[in-house]
Chain A
């Protein structure tokens, strides 16, 4: 093994508080972890898990609180210092250098050199990496190309990278969210092995079954606070779910009693490119807000993209108003009255450098134009109407949309679609990264549209939002719909249960 200092780590956090403008991310958090222990960290989206992780890994400094490592107070943690202490973090989003081989990835930045010219010492590097891979029981060798590794293997690669630096505490952020069952089991096996070697593992996951399987202790966060801790014998799924939720849904959401009208969109055995072997059946009705819940990677965004014609469909059919969509393309979807507010607002929803007016008018240009010429007057009128209707706060509509706040940017994306008078509007994480006021406005708008008979499909990972606003929730897990919950059955517990199978 590569562990130079065999000393087990002991990490204590006390009174950790982190405040952002307008939001308290962490409020007086305490937790501890010791070498040879696996601790599960759970909580809903926004509970503060990732902020806490960033604090431990030195990426952000807490406003208050103490971090004690090996009995010494560590006041100024930086990523470099954290590395020296033997703490490594494996992110949820893996970013290996797919153009390099396994050895180069593991030892990146710590390459070994030899000779006068300082050429890479490939042999020594491979000899250093090989035993680590062996210990992890990987199916790939030090010379394999990273581009050919599966997601699970890439995960192990990251762990190997962590192990190459005197690892004492490994933090895993949702490592299994995109792994298959057997891959997950292999990872859990590695975690057990590390524990036996005296490494501390902090394991963040939404999959409660895994926690029950491997963790010695569970720390639950809720709204940036400690919501409780469970020891090995107390861990069970229902208890964990109760601790994660444990609060009333606020009066933030207005619920009007929408009457579901005739079917607008019908998916028959639709198969998407993300999960080509799973088929989805779903019917959306006029005036109804349906929410698509599930974990990251469940295939929700991909389903939306397939309906909107961005991704090719692998099989099955999409029917609007009882008519099959003519062709699988965005223009066909728009012509049939489907709109999509994408998840990646800046990359897919907006032209950041273009004026607000231009962004709002983009899909409408063809319809407003006279013989192919842009009707500047009509475009300006449209933008002005949208500004009034959605209360877009911009000093001028000729300003680049990049200068607007997140909430107002989202309103611009909404405005460009409302101008098309859609029959079905799909909103993918519509309130992510926007402030509370704008959120309320988005909810209000959704209710208003539903009242006008528009069918709404919202994808959201925010449980509170899902329960607060939906008339009906379809829960997805690994590419298929595992259940549909009506208003009366809507509890976070029910959703979570379906989302994790």
Chain B
């Protein structure tokens, strides 16, 4: 665990403790399970976002992809009677295709990630709304899919399966980012793409892989959200989710300049954001202030972080200067 993560964990525990003290309902099994479920759901695409941000990129189309793939998933099953494993496969293939497309536009056509994914945000949302003629894609009344529902929205020993999925994805992501060569290359490309090229890293391929991975996790997330809401209203489903993801990653120590961050951090970031949401509800703060609270906490966190790195920079300068003086004396 990095120092940043410990700081964030302390913050999560402190905020949690304060909420619990003010309103003991925070610790009630129902509230905990619900909050955990939301953490799981939002966590999946936040990790996705983190993989792109670490390469100094950004993915703004997550919310729209969740809406589009959600609509397709539900509609394939409800209107076309496609068996759900098939529908799931279709959604995953589509998500990979979206990732490849973004990666290709960014690396081969040299477009800026912000622009590419902003256009994605607009296009996928529009297509989703057109597809349902701005209606809601939902399952016909009374239909149920026991296996799918158990897998995606069920619970085992009171633990929502979204949390289980999030935990599994987080563990795999942790190994991938912090223990594999691919992870090292992600950090290298994000920190200094030129030096990465000079080190023989195929930077284009690494970036494409990051976007594909991001889209793939977003696809999984889309299925979870579709089954959570059971019906997908394409004009509002998943709105602003990309911003939740970015916020969680930034809180978790990912720099938008790339090359920095940890999976533990983004997991804690997701938890903090959901606890804050919960805090707004439980403490009787008008829910209209929801975003304002979240924004303030992120701002405070980022300010604290930059102050810390400025201090680190100053110390480094000092070390370099004293080393220079030493060598001058010799």
Binding site for B on A (CB under 8 A): 21-22, 308, 310, 329-331, 333-334, 340, 342, 347-354, 358, 362-363, 365-366, 369, 372-374, 400, 402-403, 405, 416, 435
Query: For the complex, is B188 an interface residue (Cβ under 8 Å from A)?
Result: yes
The 10 closest A-B pairs by CB, nearest first: A21-B328, A334-B200, A362-B199, A365-B181, A363-B199, A369-B181, A348-B198, A330-B200, A363-B200, A348-B194
- Are B200 and A342 interface neighbours, CB within 8 A? no
Interface class of chain B by DSSP: helix
Query: In the complex, what distance in Å separates the CA atom of A342 from the CA atom of B197?
Result: 11
- Are A347 and B202 interface neighbours, CB within 8 A? no
- Are A374 and B184 interface neighbours, CB within 8 A? yes
A400 and B316 in contact (CB under 8 A), knowing A347-B194, A351-B195, A372-B182? yes
Which A residues are CB-close (under 8 A) to B199?
Answer: 362-363, 416
Query: For the complex, is B259 an interface residue (Cβ under 8 Å from A)?
Result: yes
A-B residue pairs in contact (CB < 8 Å), sample of 24: A308-B198, A310-B197, A330-B198, A331-B200, A334-B200, A340-B198, A348-B194, A348-B195, A349-B195, A350-B192, A351-B196, A353-B259, A353-B260, A362-B188, A362-B199, A365-B184, A373-B175, A374-B179, A400-B316, A402-B316, A403-B320, A405-B323, A405-B327, A416-B199
Whole-angstrom distance from the CB of A40 to the nearest CB of chain B?
35
- Are B181 and A372 interface neighbours, CB within 8 A? yes
Looking at the complex, which one of A308, A353, A365 makes contact with B191 (CB distance below 8 Å)? A353
Query: In the complex, what distance in Å separates the CA atom of A77 from the CA atom of B316?
Result: 32
Name the residue in B179, B180, B184, B201 with the highest tally of chain A Cβ atoms < 10 Å from its Cβ. B184
- Are B197 and A362 interface neighbours, CB within 8 A? no
Query: In the complex, what distance in Å separates the CA atom of A368 from the CA atom of B108?
Result: 30
- Are B181 and A374 interface neighbours, CB within 8 A? yes
Which A residues are CB-close (under 8 A) to B180?
Answer: 369, 372-374
Which B residues are CB-close (under 8 A) to A342?
Answer: 198
Whole-angstrom distance from the CB of A432 to the nearest CB of chain B?
16
Which A residues are CB-close (under 8 A) to B184?
Answer: 358, 362, 365, 374
- Nearest chain-A residue to B176 (Cβ)? A372
Looking at the complex, which one of A22, A333, A347 makes contact with B192 (CB distance below 8 Å)? A347
Which A residues are CB-close (under 8 A) to B323?
Answer: 405
- Nearest chain-A residue to B202 (Cβ)? A331
A-B contacts counted at CB < 8 A amount to 81
Whole-angstrom distance from the CB of A425 to the nearest CB of chain B?
13
Query: In the complex, what distance in Å separates the CA atom of A349 from the CA atom of B198?
Result: 7
Which B residues are CB-close (under 8 A) to A310?
Answer: 197-198
Query: In the complex, what distance in Å separates the CA atom of A365 from the CA atom of B188?
Result: 12
Which B residues are CB-close (under 8 A) to A374?
Answer: 179-181, 183-184
Query: In the complex, what distance in Å separates the CA atom of A446 from the CA atom of B7?
Result: 47
B187-222 interface code vs A (CB 8 A; 1 in, 0 out): 110011011111111100000000000000000000
Whole-angstrom distance from the CB of A31 to the nearest CB of chain B?
29
Which A residues are CB-close (under 8 A) to B183?
Answer: 374
- Nearest chain-B residue to A305 (Cβ)? B198
- Nearest chain-A residue to B183 (Cβ)? A374
- Are B328 and A403 interface neighbours, CB within 8 A? no
Whole-angstrom distance from the CB of B141 to the nearest CB of chain A?
48
- Are A330 and B181 interface neighbours, CB within 8 A? no
- Nearest chain-B residue to A372 (Cβ)? B180
Query: For the complex, is B324 an interface residue (Cβ under 8 Å from A)?
Result: yes
Whole-angstrom distance from the CB of A345 to the nearest CB of chain B?
10
Query: In the complex, what distance in Å separates the CA atom of A414 from the CA atom of B180?
Result: 24
Which A residues are CB-close (under 8 A) to B328?
Answer: 21-22
- Nearest chain-A residue to B313 (Cβ)? A402
- Are A21 and B181 interface neighbours, CB within 8 A? no
Query: In the complex, what distance in Å separates the CA atom of A331 from the CA atom of B316?
Result: 33
A347-B192, A351-B188, A400-B316 known; 17 other A-B pairs, CB under 8 Å?
Answer: A329-B202, A331-B202, A333-B200, A347-B194, A350-B195, A351-B191, A351-B192, A362-B196, A362-B199, A363-B200, A372-B181, A373-B175, A374-B181, A402-B320, A403-B316, A403-B320, A405-B327
Query: For the complex, is B319 an interface residue (Cβ under 8 Å from A)?
Result: yes
- Nearest chain-B residue to A366 (Cβ)? B181
Query: In the complex, what distance in Å separates the CA atom of A334 from the CA atom of B87?
Result: 44
Which A residues are CB-close (under 8 A) to B324?
Answer: 21, 405
B149-193 interface code vs A (CB 8 A; 1 in, 0 out): 000000000000000000000000001000111111101100110
Query: In the complex, what distance in Å separates the CA atom of A400 from the CA atom of B187?
Result: 14
Query: In the complex, what distance in Å separates the CA atom of A400 from the CA atom of B313?
Result: 11
- Are B198 and A354 interface neighbours, CB within 8 A? no
Query: In the complex, what distance in Å separates the CA atom of A330 from the CA atom of B200?
Result: 5
Name the residue in B185, B192, B201, B260 with the highest tally of chain A Cβ atoms < 10 Å from its Cβ. B192
Which B residues are CB-close (under 8 A) to A365?
Answer: 181, 184-185
- Are A403 and B179 interface neighbours, CB within 8 A? no
Query: In the complex, what distance in Å separates the CA atom of A351 from the CA atom of B200?
Result: 14
Whole-angstrom distance from the CB of B170 to the nearest CB of chain A?
18
Which A residues are CB-close (under 8 A) to B200?
Answer: 330-331, 333-334, 363
B63-87 interface code vs A (CB 8 A; 1 in, 0 out): 0000000000000000000000000
- Nearest chain-A residue to B197 (Cβ)? A330
Which A residues are CB-close (under 8 A) to B260?
Answer: 353
Which B residues are CB-close (under 8 A) to A308?
Answer: 198
Query: In the complex, what distance in Å separates the CA atom of A22 from the CA atom of B181?
Result: 42
From 273 to 330 in chain B, residues with beta carbon under 8 angstroms from any chain A beta carbon are 316, 319-320, 323-325, 327-328
Which B residues are CB-close (under 8 A) to A373?
Answer: 175, 179-181
Whole-angstrom distance from the CB of A330 to the nearest CB of chain B?
5
Which A residues are CB-close (under 8 A) to B201?
Answer: 330, 362-363
Query: In the complex, what distance in Å separates the CA atom of A138 from the CA atom of B324?
Result: 48
Which B residues are CB-close (under 8 A) to A329?
Answer: 202
Query: In the complex, what distance in Å separates the CA atom of A373 from the CA atom of B200?
Result: 18
Query: In the complex, what distance in Å separates the CA atom of A453 from the CA atom of B152?
Result: 62
- Nearest chain-A residue to B312 (Cβ)? A400
Query: In the complex, what distance in Å separates the CA atom of A273 from the CA atom of B56?
Result: 28
Which B residues are CB-close (under 8 A) to A351?
Answer: 188, 191-192, 195-196, 259
Looking at the complex, which one of B181, B182, B191, B319 makes contact with A354 (CB distance below 8 Å)? B191
Query: In the complex, what distance in Å separates the CA atom of A329 from the CA atom of B205?
Result: 13
Query: In the complex, what distance in Å separates the CA atom of A365 from the CA atom of B179?
Result: 11
Whole-angstrom distance from the CB of A448 to the nearest CB of chain B?
23
Which A residues are CB-close (under 8 A) to B195?
Answer: 347-351
